[in-house]
Amino acid sequence: MTVAPTALTVLTTVDSAEKAEALARGAVEARLAACAQIVGPITSVYHWQRTIEASQEWQVVFKTTQSRYDALEAHLLAVHDYETPEIVATAIVRASAAYLKWIETETGTGTETGTAVS
């Protein structure tokens, strides 16, 4: 395993599988993320406008680099339909060297495009 201070997972949630796939495809096609995984449906319980709400959502988890984070966040904010979307980045602290290289390559921060790894 390699220490990976430049790689991130970024997650957001949306209210349908179709929206999740659109966000995932848009980010990967634009090379803002090397890949995106869709998890759902999940149930979210949260405070919103002075009440406790519960709703069904789909989580999208992106694999990207710190250097692509700002562009990915701007993209998600531009296309997301939530008033206050969850966009949370977590550093990938350790990962295989090959996987990290693949993330860098597929987000345009490496030197060549590679083969799919998930």
Structure confidence by residue, pLDDT tens digits, 4-58 = 569 999 999 999 999 999 999 999 999 999 999 999 999 999 999 999 999 999 9
Q: pTM of the entire structure? A: 0.88
The CATH number for 87's domain is 3.30.70.120
Q: Residue 3 has what pLDDT? A: 60
32 within a domain of the structure (yes/no)? yes
116 within a domain of the structure (yes/no)? no
Question: If you count them, how many residues does the chain have?
Answer: 118
Q: Residue 58 has what pLDDT? A: 99
115 within a domain of the structure (yes/no)? no
Q: Quick one: pLDDT band at residue 111, thresholds 50, 70, 90?
A: low
Q: Quick one: pLDDT band at residue 112, thresholds 50, 70, 90?
A: low
Give the total number of structural domains in the chain. Answer: 1
Q: Residue 53 has what pLDDT? A: 95
Non-local CB neighbours of 68 within 8 Å, separated by 6+ positions: 31, 32, 33, 107, 108, 109
pLDDT value at 116 more than 70: no
118 within a domain of the structure (yes/no)? no
Distance, CA of 55 to CA of 36 (rounded, Å): 22
Q: Quick one: pLDDT band at residue 90, thresholds 50, 70, 90?
A: very high
Question: What's the burial of 22, exposed, middle or buried (CB within 10 Å: 0-12/13-18/19+)?
Answer: middle
111 within a domain of the structure (yes/no)? no
Q: Residue 26 has what pLDDT? A: 98
Domain that holds residue 44: 2-106
